[in-house]
Amino acid sequence: MTAGISGLEKPLRLAGMLLIAGLLVEAICLLWARPLAFILLVAAGGFLCAAGIVVYLYALVSARKATPEQ
Amino acid sequence: MRSSTILLLSLIVLSAVLIGVLVARPVVTATRGGKILAFFILFLLPSLSMTMGVSSELERSKSTEFCLSCHVMESHGRSLYVDDPGYLAAAHFQNHRVPADQACYTCHTNYAMFGGYRAKLNGLHHVYVQYFGKAQDPIRLYEPYNNRECLHCHLGARSFEEGAVHTADPDLLPAVKANKVSCLSSGCHDVVHNAGQLSNVKFWKGAK
């Protein structure tokens, strides 16, 4: 169990940081009512959040492959 | 600030805090419950926040304030406050014939299926021009103004269907409804924004 966690730890942290960065961008864009805010929200915020989710999901899938059912 | 924005910001802060806890203590995902919690925090909450954020920004892009935040639209914004009922845009805006907070969007979208998205795609081009390009001088519409935008509200209205000028020629209304005779450029309602000629006009005192 511990080995599984430590294997997941790094990608989980990376995913979390990407998601926090994406959410931070989203929050700034919501407060900053300018036309560029919308582009930033979709391009930067959307990319960071999507990357975070992909890293997390990939970590789940690869962790399951690494520790097959016993 | 709108209450929906405050609610969304609260959701974003909550999501960020929960993600922060997970990043600081990934060991919580060791148990089955922890894994479910991690899926909720790292997948569902950010997806929901982002979807709501994009939706909120799309909605905000309809606002008059948003359209007029570009420097190039400043004179069009001022034209909404001209103290002359002959100015079509000003008369509609000041008398709330269109929602004042979405005045631009109400008249400048086509109301067809996905019309709003098409208008927003054009809007993306506007953002590009605002920051990296040069706007046309004078600003022109992408295509001739379609009577459909007027008929969306006026069709069936008594003042429109039975107006003396409209009914004087029996061929006029069918031609207007078929978009063969323009409401704006056929010499009838041709003073709309006239944004380039605002130096000598009087402005409404209620103007902000």
Residue carrying structure tokens 């399951």: A64
Distance between CA atoms of residues B96 and A51, nearest Å:
45
**Residues with Cβ within 8 Å of residue B72, at least 6 apart in sequence:** B129, B130, B135, B139
Q: For residues B94 and B88, what is the distance between their CA atoms, to the nearest angstrom?
A: 10
Inform me whether the C-beta atom of residue B133 falls under 8 Å from chain A C-beta atoms. no
For B67, the closest chain A residue by CA position comes to A35
- Chain A touched by B11 (CB under 8 Å): no
Q: How many CB atoms lie within 10 A of CB A29?
A: 23
Q: In 3-state terms, what secondary structure has residue B207?
A: coil
Question: Does a cis peptide bond (omega within 30 degrees of 0) precede residue B138?
Answer: yes
Strand partners, B203: B82
The answer to whether A52 touches A18, Cβ cutoff 8 Å, is: yes
Q: What pLDDT shows up at residue B114?
A: 52
Distance from CA of A70 to the nearest CA of B (A): 17
Full-prediction pTM beyond 0.80? no
Rounding to the nearest 10 degrees, give the CA dihedral for residues B11, B12, B16, B18. 10
Question: Cα–Cα–Cα angle for B151, B156, B163, nearest 5°?
Answer: 90
User: What are the residue ranges of helices labelled H in B61-190?
Assistant: 64-67, 74-79, 88-94, 103-107, 115-132, 148-154, 158-161, 164-168, 172-177
The residue among B18 and B200 whose pLDDT is bigger is B18
| Least confident piece of the model among A18-27, B73-82, B112-121, B130-139 | B112-121
Helix, strand or coil, per DSSP, at residue B203: strand
Domain spans in chain B, listed from the N-terminal domain onward = 3-60, 73-197
Both structure tokens of B70: 């570009």
Torsions phi, psi for B203 (to 5 deg): -105, 150
Which of A6, A23, A39, A61 should we substitute to test contact with B (largest number of B Cβ atoms within 10 Å)?
A: A23
Percent pLDDT > 70 in chain B is 94
Closest alpha carbon to B19 in A61, A12, A60: A12
How many Å apart are CA B56 and CA B50, to the nearest integer?
10
CA distance B110 to chain A (A): 21
* Chain A 11-70, residues with CB within 8 Å of chain B CB atoms: 12-13, 15-17, 19-20, 22-24, 26-27, 29-31, 33-39, 41-42, 45-46, 49, 52-53, 56-57
**CA A64 remoteness from chain centre:** 19
Window 43-82 of B, Cβ < 8 Å to A: 43, 46-47, 49-50, 53-54, 56-58, 60-61, 65-66, 69-70
Residues of chain A with Cβ-Cβ distance to B20 below 8 Å are 16, 20
Which long-range contacts does B118-124 make (Cβ < 8 Å, 24+ apart)?
Answer: B120/B58, B120/B61, B123/A35, B123/B61, B124/A39
The total domain count for chain A is 1
Q: Taking Cα atoms as reference points, which of B102, B89, B107, B114 lies closest to residue B201?
A: B89
pLDDT in tens, chain A (70 residues): 444 556 788 899 999 999 999 999 999 999 887 778 888 898 899 999 999 999 999 998 887 666 655 4
Structure token digits, residue B92: 């509609």
- The more confident residue out of B109 and B56 is B56
- Token pair, residue B208, equals 């902000």
Which residue of chain A comes nearest to B57, CA vs CA? A38
Residue B73 CB coordination number (10 Å): 20
Q: To which residue do tokens 């925090």 refer?
A: B41
- pLDDT of B158 reads 95
Give pLDDT, residue B208.
54
- For an interface test with B, the pick among A6, A20, A29, A48 (most B C-beta atoms closer than 10 Å) comes out as A20
Question: What value does the mean pLDDT of chain B take?
Answer: 88
Looking up tokens 């040069």 gives B134
Structural domain boundaries, residue A42: 2-66
